[in-house]
Amino acid sequence: MCYNTFRYSDGRQTAFDGGMRMIRLDGVSKRYGTHRALQDVSFTVPKGQILGLLGQNGAGKTTAMNIMTGCLAPSQGTAVIGGYDVMRSPREAKRLIGYLPETAPLYDEMTVRAYLRFACELKEVRKQAIAGHVEAVGEKTGLTDVLDRKIGNLSRGYRQRVGFAQALCGSPEVIILDEPTTGLDPRQSAEMRALVKSLAGQHTVLFSSHILSEVQALCDRVIILHHSRVICDSAMQALRCGERRLRAVIACGEGSLLPRLRQLPSVSRVEVERGGREGITQVVMTVEEGQNAERELFTLLSGLQTPLLRLAPVEDSLEDVFLRATMDENEE
Amino acid sequence: MGAIYRREMQCYFYTPAAYVFMGVFLALSSVFFGFGNLGARSSDLMALLDRMSYIWMLLSPVLTMRLIAGEKQQRTDQLLYASPCSLSAQVAGKYFAACTVLLITVLATVMYPLVVAVYGKLYVGETLVGYMGLILQGCAFLALDLFISCFTRNQMTAAVAGVGANLLVWLADAMAQALSGSFAARALNFISLYRRFAPFARGQLSLSNALYDVLFIFIMLFLSVRVLDARRWSEA
């Protein structure tokens, strides 16, 4: 289910098309022989947004990122960065991208400074500006003290920072980070999250992770990939994946009430929460997005002359949404 | 391309690759010079250049095995592919860096003609032509081995396959003799790099053979770019 939808030329829709679109994937699919790694994936990311890409192993996150950065060619569809098609205008598109792959692409024999200089040269930073730029990027990522050390002698946390610093070289508009905290200890992960958070507003960031709390803490919006397809595309504040849930506390025994609740047109599921007082029923109702279940419930209960003690929306955690979204998909 | 070239040059001299290549090459060629020229009191450098071309065949994969396969093995290839630097510039930068190491090595062998000039008679023109053939030969091997390096993620595989490919194109004319007269024999004769080098080793300047080497290099580099590009469509 989409919010603030944008319609493509072929009728498909995607969310969040307000403002300048820095990343646009339009019907992107990738096949390896008979295996489909990505199926008809479409979404846009406006300038300045931090987007979290969630999915289990093999869901297609890395493939999607590799297509956006031009490392892989899509079997179908187009990836557009800052208005440039990655396949047709690769040089222009790639100038706008900073990419940190899952395994940081580091040359162990180089010093951090030499490596960042090389990254700046690749990103076509002006020769006179490179030295200053390397210092600035090193300072931003906390590498100042190790700039003249060999990368091969650095700890895992520092190596990941060097990879991150490389992605920042040339101040690209779009920064793509593939599971940047994988393999880091909790402190290093927190530092990496702080670095990503510091990019908010200045850069458009696409961030993939297995760690749901991390995505929840960092991102403005989340896309869930499952079995190579987008199954959820939502703003963090509106994480409902096409449905919302209401918790109702009703002064009535559940025996006669539950069948009536299940018959309400907008209610797709009713779950009873046990442990309440006798004569009080507490339920969680799953409601299709856009349906007015509150009105139907009030009408039903007033007809039964039954008091409604409490009615409130259930705030889903990202974990709940992810599990429910992927579970529903499996059930299908 | 400049950035790639400079990085590759740094890598050659920050790691043992260039030193191993230059050290082994110079050690073997010095042995050939010692026995073939000093020991035999001969001013003929053509035989030495001929033997040096055999050493290229065995050692050139040391310079190329890391160029593409090593990037894939270390997963640094994604840094290059995601950069605005085109695949052709990447391949050219890597190739020219390998050629530079080869040229530095050739420069170090100038001591042999100098010794001959001091203690005997040096045929300058013939020697220069021989050196030209030697350099073209080495550059052709590097281009072939770089192309081979595009097919694998493993550096050792790239090196072994490179030596095999070098032997094949070097000895193609020897194989052609066994198939004399047939189309296969003509084809093998055509691709034989030894056959192209032979006139240079006799001190004869052959433009057609020099052009063949240049064309061979260009085709190998072009195919390398095509293979890398094709992998973007097929790799998982």
A101 within some domain: yes
Contact A190, A205 (CB under 8 A): no
Question: Given pLDDT bands bounded at 50, 70 and 90, which one contains residue B235?
Answer: low
Look at residue A34 in the predicted model and tell me its pLDDT: 82
Nearest CA in chain B to A31: B234
A326 within some domain: no
Indicate if A97 and A162 belong to the same structural domain.
yes
Closest-CA distance of chain B to residue A69, Å: 5
CATH number for position A288: 3.30.70.260
The rounded distance, in Å, linking the Cα atoms of A296 and A89 is: 54
Indicate if A113 and A211 belong to the same structural domain.
yes
**Number of Cβ atoms within 10 Å of the Cβ of B174:** 12
A311 within some domain: yes
Domain count, chain A: 2
Indicate if A63 and A212 belong to the same structural domain.
yes
Question: Given pLDDT bands bounded at 50, 70 and 90, which one contains residue A11?
Answer: very low
Encode pLDDT of B83-125 as tens digits: 999 999 999 999 999 999 999 999 999 999 998 888 888 888 8
- Tell if the CB–CB gap between A70 and B75 is shorter than 8 Å: no
Look at residue A329 in the predicted model and tell me its pLDDT: 52
Buried b (16+ CB within 10 A) or exposed e, A253-286: ebeebeebbeebebbeebeeeeeeeeeebbbebb
Q: SS3 string of A112-175?
A: HHHHHHHHHHHCCCCHHHHHHHHHHHHHHCCCHHHCCCEHHHCCHHHHHHHHHHHHHCCCCCEE
- Tell if the CB–CB gap between A119 and B79 is shorter than 8 Å: yes
Owning domain of residue A247: 243-315
Q: Which amino acid, A138?
A: G
Look at residue A176 in the predicted model and tell me its pLDDT: 94
- Tell if the CB–CB gap between B85 and A122 is shorter than 8 Å: yes
Encode pLDDT of B134-189 as tens digits: 999 999 999 999 999 999 889 999 999 999 998 888 788 778 777 777 777 878 87
Look at residue A281 in the predicted model and tell me its pLDDT: 85
Look at residue A12 in the predicted model and tell me its pLDDT: 42
- Prediction ipTM score: 0.85
Q: Which amino acid, A252?
A: C
**Six-digit token pair at B66?**
């890391």
Strand segments (E) across chain A: 6-7, 13-14, 21-32, 35-46, 50-55, 76-81, 84-85, 97-100, 174-178, 204-209, 221-226, 229-235, 243-250, 267-272, 281-288, 308-313
Indicate if A45 and A166 belong to the same structural domain.
yes
In chain A, pLDDT over 70 holds for what percent of residues? Answer: 87
Closest-CA distance of chain B to residue A200, Å: 22
* Any A CB within 8 A of B46 CB: no
Contact B102, B139 (CB under 8 A): yes
A83 within some domain: yes
- Of A331 and B227, more confident: B227
Instruction: State how far the alpha carbon of B117 is from the alpha carbons of B27, B28, B106, in Å.
Output: 21, 21, 17
Indicate if A247 and A234 belong to the same structural domain.
no
B21 Cβ contact list (under 8 Å, min separation 6)? B59, B62, B63, B101, B105
Indicate if A54 and A160 belong to the same structural domain.
yes
Look at residue A17 in the predicted model and tell me its pLDDT: 45
B76 CB neighbours in chain A (<8 A) are 105-107
- Tell if the CB–CB gap between B10 and A114 is shorter than 8 Å: yes
The rounded distance, in Å, linking the Cα atoms of B192 and B169 is: 5
A48 within some domain: yes
A327 within some domain: no
Contact A234, A15 (CB under 8 A): yes
Question: Given pLDDT bands bounded at 50, 70 and 90, which one contains residue B223?
Answer: very high
Indicate if A208 and A272 belong to the same structural domain.
no
Q: Which amino acid, A7?
A: R
Indicate if A41 and A137 belong to the same structural domain.
yes
Q: Crossing angle of helices B46-64/B87-108, nearest 10°? A: 140
The SS3 of residue B25 is helix
